[in-house]
Amino acid sequence: MDFTAIPGFQYGGMEHVGAIQYNEASLFLDGNATQKEKMARTHLIAHEIAHMWFGDLVTMKWFDDVWLKEVFANFLADKITNPAFPEVNHDLTFMSEHYAGAYSEDRTKGATPIKQHLDNLKNAGTLYGNIIYDKAPIMMRQLEALVGEKAFKQGVRNYIKQFANANADWNDLVNILDEETNYDLKAWSDVWVNQSGRPIITDEVYYENDTISNFEIRQKAENGNSNMWQQQFSLGLVYADSIVEIPVKLTKQEQSVEALIGLPKPQYITYNYNALGYGVFTLDTLQISEIPKIKDAIARGYSYINLYENVLSGNVPPQKALETLIEGVVIETEELILNNVIGYISSIFWNYIEPDYRADMGVFLESKLKSRLYAQHDSASIKKTLFYLFRDIAYSEAGREVLYNIWNKSLKIDGLMLNENDYTALAATLAVFNHPKTDAILRKASEEISNPDRKKRFEFLLPSLSNDENERDNFVLSLAKAENREKESWVLSALHNIHHPLRQEPAKKHLRTSLDLVEEIQKTGDIFFPKAWLNATIGNYTSNEALQTLNGFLQDNPNFPVELNNKLLQASDKLYRAKLLRETWE
């Protein structure tokens, strides 16, 4: 078994039989790597090795079941990674790694089923995405809970034995697992695997004499169809001095939870307390400010996820959620949760609040982050995570100067360990934030890069970092030629620089051209490149003007390929969400 490390490899890994190829940077981490980076490396290696059985030993019959090899690789990689990190809460890891990604596509107008139709192998690359890599493992965990861990393991073993050195599809596995359970797995699979979308789960609670007299849970499909997701999760009833956790098996669109009847009235109820369920769960207004104080890490982590999803659904004002998230970033000690929190802060900060409020909130957030960065009690890994958020949002004049002083090493923060890549990224951020010394910063940053491949990458990015609008425009126009898009990861980084929220006014003129190129990009690029290209262009915008550009493109291209149309609607979801939030809360 060989490992081949390739600088600039466009994938994390590729499961060639007996000689797995890896992105060099994914394998060789420096001494300051965060726990998340180390776990990601272990998970990547486990994922590719799991493919030796799922994908190589047993191969799908047709590429519409490509998700099957990926779900098993991810599902098994989660299990394989666990023993290497005994100090980590792996249920929390699973939640942190999969839910946000699954929701990011399943909530959109371009949501697809796990198993998609494929009429031509040339479109196989369009099947890949977060539905395969993130929703499918969640589905598989629900299936394991439904069948039972022992029966599920036996069924998978039988599947591998029966189809070794042969081809199999999802129905073959379902038929085998059907022998291990009394549930109608075909009906269950039809919704979870063959249909897109997720449920919205609400309740109706009745009280008598401060006790629960009836508790009804209701679900409906977010996209308006009649689907019903059979699933398991738990409820956490929060009292002044205790938490009562109640398991729920949701098997109908409306059902009463008998186990809750007669219990005292709680202060509030936390849905999906064990982070096993899937969907948008009702969120008590009283609970929002209490989320950072939830003691159970899994319940707290999922409550942050559910808070963000309720923001995007128009149920919670972005400003209110941002206040709770900032409180969380001040006190959160669990790195996996902290990573999600800073992601949600960044998303709301740049996409869903008005610029004037963002400027004021940015100064406030900078202050909170600096206070924690200067504190002595956090690990180097936590400090680096906090620094990444500070680097992302500190665009005020005072914030830029702090970043500049860190970059030129005149400011040292105890416990904050930055490597060469961090300093290079910091130089790029200062350029995007329009620091007055941008030209000098970029020259020095280029000179200090020791690795020749990374130096070439930075030199490629320089036009996208320029404060000269004409230089940036010429760079974007050059991408119309396929030879200038050869280093796809470099192109994507450059496009994010071009279309950063602070630079969108001069960059928006390129949106239509970027959309017009998508079909050619699918023909000339890597399988992940079309979606990534869309994320880096139209996916950075939330303005009405950008939405008009998108609608104009769709009207002018009624025959735009369905597979690419789904990718476009997934990437541009922020445009629709931002419009909804403006209409709801203005």
> What is the average pLDDT across 148-162?
93
Q: What confidence score (pLDDT) does residue 9 get? A: 85
377 within some domain = no
Kindly report the CA angle at 303 between 302 and 304, in degrees rounded to 5?
90
> What is the average pLDDT across 461-478?
97
Q: What confidence score (pLDDT) does residue 90 get? A: 84
Task: Tell me how crowded residue 405 is: count the other CB atoms within 10 A of its CB.
Answer: 12
Identify the CA nearest to 223 among candidates 355, 115, 110, 135. Answer: 110
* Spatial separation of the C-alpha atoms in residues 499 and 508, rounded to whole Å: 8
Identify the CA nearest to 577 among candidates 541, 550, 534. Answer: 541
SS3 at position 23:
strand
Judgement on whether residues 185 and 209 belong to the same structural domain of the protein: no
Q: What confidence score (pLDDT) does residue 155 get? A: 92
523 within some domain = yes
For 168, 373, 390, the CA distances from 410, given in Å and listed in that order, are 60, 16, 17
Which sign, positive or negative, has the C-alpha torsion 135, 137, 140, 144?
A: negative
Judgement on whether residues 268 and 140 belong to the same structural domain of the protein: no
23 within some domain = no
For 296, 481, 525, the CA distances from 2, given in Å and listed in that order, are 42, 36, 27
The 10s digit of each residue's pLDDT in 249-275 is 999 999 999 999 999 999 999 999 999
* Spatial separation of the C-alpha atoms in residues 94 and 98, rounded to whole Å: 6
Judgement on whether residues 205 and 172 belong to the same structural domain of the protein: no
> What is the average pLDDT across 494-517?
98
Question: What is the band of 491 on the pLDDT scale with cuts at 50, 70, 90?
Answer: very high
562 within some domain = yes
Q: Which of 184-188, 230-234, 296-300, 550-554 has the lowest mean pLDDT?
A: 184-188
Q: What is the residue-wise DSSP string for 228-255?
A: ---EEEEEEEE-SS-EEEEEEEE-SSEE
* Spatial separation of the C-alpha atoms in residues 272 and 275, rounded to whole Å: 5
The 10s digit of each residue's pLDDT in 378-388 is 998 899 999 99
Q: Which of 140, 162, 192 is the last residue of a domain?
A: 192
The 10s digit of each residue's pLDDT in 28-66 is 998 878 777 898 999 999 999 999 999 999 999 988 888
Q: What confidence score (pLDDT) does residue 405 get? A: 98
Q: What confidence score (pLDDT) does residue 284 get? A: 86
544 within some domain = yes
Bigger pLDDT: 182 vs 150: 150
Question: What is the band of 242 on the pLDDT scale with cuts at 50, 70, 90?
Answer: very high
Judgement on whether residues 483 and 550 belong to the same structural domain of the protein: yes
Give 401's contacts (C-beta < 8 A, 6+ positions apart). Answer: none
419 within some domain = no
- Which tokens is 337 given? 């949760």
Q: What confidence score (pLDDT) does residue 310 get? A: 98
Kindly report the CA angle at 138 between 568 and 109, in degrees rounded to 5?
20
**Considering the chain, what is the average pLDDT of its residues?**
94
> What is the average pLDDT across 301-330?
97
- Which tokens is 67 given? 């998700």
Percentage helix, strand, coil for the chain under 3-state DSSP, each rounded to 5: 60, 10, 30
Q: What confidence score (pLDDT) does residue 559 get? A: 95
SS3 at position 20:
strand
* Inter-residue long-range contacts of 245-248, CB under 8 Å, 24+ positions, other chains counted: 245/273, 245/274, 248/217
Q: Which of 18-27, 85-94, 321-330, 465-474 has the lowest mean pLDDT?
A: 85-94
The 10s digit of each residue's pLDDT in 394-436 is 999 999 999 999 999 999 999 999 999 999 999 999 999 999 9
Q: Which of 192, 214, 244 is the last residue of a domain?
A: 192
Q: What confidence score (pLDDT) does residue 207 get? A: 95
Q: Which of 192, 209, 228 is the last residue of a domain?
A: 192
Task: Tell me how crowded residue 377 is: count the other CB atoms within 10 A of its CB.
Answer: 8
Question: What is the band of 75 on the pLDDT scale with cuts at 50, 70, 90?
Answer: confident
* Spatial separation of the C-alpha atoms in residues 185 and 230, rounded to whole Å: 11
Judgement on whether residues 213 and 79 belong to the same structural domain of the protein: no
Sheet holding 280-281, edge to edge: 254-256, 211-221, 199-208, 280-281
- Which tokens is 283 given? 């969120």
Judgement on whether residues 206 and 240 belong to the same structural domain of the protein: yes
**Which CATH number characterizes residue 75's domain?**
1.10.390.10
Do the bridges between strand 211-221 and strand 231-238 make them parallel or antiparallel, or are there none, so unpaired?
A: unpaired
457 within some domain = no
> What is the average pLDDT across 13-26?
93
- Chain mean position to CA 521: 23
Judgement on whether residues 66 and 146 belong to the same structural domain of the protein: yes
Provide the number of structural domains found in the chain: 3
Judgement on whether residues 108 and 138 belong to the same structural domain of the protein: yes
Q: What is the residue-wise DSSP string for 33-89?
A: --HHHHHHHHHHHHHHHHTTTBTTTEEESSGGGHHHHHHHHHHHHHHHHGGG-TTS-
Question: What is the band of 462 on the pLDDT scale with cuts at 50, 70, 90?
Answer: very high
* Per-residue pLDDT at 214 exceeds 90: yes
Judgement on whether residues 175 and 207 belong to the same structural domain of the protein: no
* Per-residue pLDDT at 88 exceeds 90: no
Q: What confidence score (pLDDT) does residue 82 get? A: 85
Radius of gyration of the chain (CA): 24
Judgement on whether residues 523 and 583 belong to the same structural domain of the protein: yes
Q: What is the residue-wise DSSP string for 493-508?
A: HHHHHHT-GGGHHHHG
Q: Which residues of 464-474 are buried (b: 16+ CB within 10 A; e: fewer)?
A: bbbeeeeebbe
* Spatial separation of the C-alpha atoms in residues 232 and 238, rounded to whole Å: 20
Identify the CA nearest to 289 among candidates 317, 247, 265. Answer: 317
The 10s digit of each residue's pLDDT in 123-144 is 777 788 899 889 998 999 999 9
Judgement on whether residues 540 and 576 belong to the same structural domain of the protein: yes
Packing angle of the helix pair 136-147, 66-81 (nearest 10 deg)? 70
CB 512 within 8 A of CB 553: yes
Single-letter amino acid, residue 63: F
Do the bridges between strand 231-238 and strand 2-6 make them parallel or antiparallel, or are there none, so unpaired?
A: unpaired
Which sign, positive or negative, has the C-alpha torsion 139, 47, 52, 148?
A: negative
Identify the CA nearest to 493 among candidates 442, 548, 532, 541. Answer: 532
291 within some domain = no
Q: What confidence score (pLDDT) does residue 109 get? A: 95
Q: What confidence score (pLDDT) does residue 122 get? A: 75
For 21, 51, 531, the CA distances from 44, given in Å and listed in that order, are 11, 11, 21
SS3 at position 116:
coil
Q: Which domain holds residue 96?
A: 31-192
- Which tokens is 364 given? 């406030």
* Spatial separation of the C-alpha atoms in residues 165 and 157, rounded to whole Å: 14
Judgement on whether residues 158 and 73 belong to the same structural domain of the protein: yes
Q: What confidence score (pLDDT) does residue 489 get? A: 93
CB 278 within 8 A of CB 71: no
In total, the chain counts a number of residues equal to 586
**Which CATH number characterizes residue 238's domain?**
2.60.40.1910
Q: What confidence score (pLDDT) does residue 399 get? A: 97
